């Protein structure tokens, strides 16, 4: 893969440590930053939060991650009802040719680029899909389909029952801070404003400055993560060359891992201004379930990613 994991650009998780101001995103693509109230409450039991750009919603915990149009090559072999998933535009795309073409789950999309075929339904509505011919059908027969949009993001919902589709759409909202305490735009002046001492937030941003994915660790996982992050040996170097043109993962508002070695000094993570070698444990916690991407062989990728 051409992408190399690497140099972190910020500071430590403890709130008492200072945090330097970053450079922000590119002028032509940086999303707007506006004041926000406190984040929305977290998901109910049995559900989890999924966010892309400024659109946040909730999906059943049983739903996985992956392309909705690749259900026919899934490991469970149960068909489109086997395991619903959550798909983001940044994920790998391949032409598989499943029938029906799209399985169950949520597919985020950029409304300025493309919109899904929603059978004539308006935003916020759900409608039942009954194909005239099962051959070449777009959705599974009997599926409930709907969509929601904000100014900058959209989400197609395909569910087995109306109640599930309705709930996903009912909890969709446009936000600038999501329920996982992640700002929907990459702006270092905001890091740390919604820190939770017991739950570590993991926020992944793209090169355009938008939030791609967020996660809130449990109290138990947070304690373990904080005991393992930034434990590599101390190394010399500088983070002065690091920018925001590539994927960045912000942990706890302050640790930052940038998935490109812009400084050409190897894989590192900065902890309160001190550089440490990036370890597989750093990446184990930084890469949320559903992450997909390429990494150089020199990157200490964990043997197994979190699921």
pLDDT tens, N- to C-terminus, the chain (307 residues): 333 233 333 322 222 212 222 223 333 444 444 434 456 667 888 999 999 999 999 999 999 998 888 888 765 555 555 579 999 998 766 677 788 889 999 999 999 988 887 877 889 999 999 877 656 688 999 999 999 999 999 999 999 999 999 999 999 999 999 999 999 998 766 777 777 889 999 999 988 889 999 999 999 999 999 999 988 888 877 655 555 556 778 888 767 776 666 566 666 676 666 778 888 999 999 999 988 666 656 677 888 888 8
Question: Cα 36–270–252 angle (5° rounding)?
Answer: 30
Which of 299, 301, 274 lies closest to 285 in space, CA to CA? Answer: 301
Classify burial at 161, counting beta carbons within 10 Å of its beta carbon; exposed 0-12, middle 13-18, buried 19 or more: exposed
CB proximity list for 139: less than 8 A, separation 6 or greater: 100, 101, 102, 129, 131, 145, 158
pTM of the model: 0.81
């Amino acid at each position: 893969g051409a992408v190399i994991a690497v140099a972190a650009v910020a500071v430590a998780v403890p709130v008492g440590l200072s945090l330097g101001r970053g450079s922000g995103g590119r002028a032509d693509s940086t999303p707007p930053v506006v004041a926000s109230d406190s984040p929305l409450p977290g998901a109910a039991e049995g559900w989890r939060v999924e966010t892309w750009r400024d659109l946040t919603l909730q999906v059943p915990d049983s739903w996985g991650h992956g392309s909705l149009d690749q259900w026919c090559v899934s490991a469970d072999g149960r068909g489109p009802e086997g395991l619903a998933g959550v798909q983001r535009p940044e994920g790998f795309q391949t032409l598989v040719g499943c029938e029906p073409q799209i399985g169950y789950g949520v597919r985020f999309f950029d409304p300025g680029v493309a919109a899904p075929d929603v059978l004539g339904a308006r935003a916020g509505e759900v409608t039942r899909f009954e194909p005239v011919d099962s051959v070449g059908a777009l959705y599974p027969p009997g599926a409930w389909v709907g969509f929601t949009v904000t100014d900058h993001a959209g989400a197609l919902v395909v569910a087995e029952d109306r109640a599930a589709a309705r709930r996903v759409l009912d909890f969709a909202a446009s936000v600038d801070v999501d329920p996982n305490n992640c700002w929907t735009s990459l702006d270092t002046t905001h890091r740390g404003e919604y820190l939770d001492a017991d739950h570590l937030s993991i926020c992944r941003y793209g090169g355009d400055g938008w939030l791609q994915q967020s996660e809130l660790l449990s109290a138990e996982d947070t304690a373990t993560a904080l005991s393992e992050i930034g434990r590599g040996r101390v190394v010399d170097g500088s983070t002065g060359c690091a920018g925001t043109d590539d994927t960045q993962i912000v942990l706890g508002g302050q640790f930052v891992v940038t998935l490109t070695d812009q400084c050409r000094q190897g894989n590192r993570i900065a902890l309160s201004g001190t550089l440490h070698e990036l370890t597989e444990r750093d990446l184990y916690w930084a890469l949320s379930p559903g992450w997909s991407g390429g990494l150089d062989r020199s990157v200490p990728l964990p043997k197994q990613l979190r699921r």
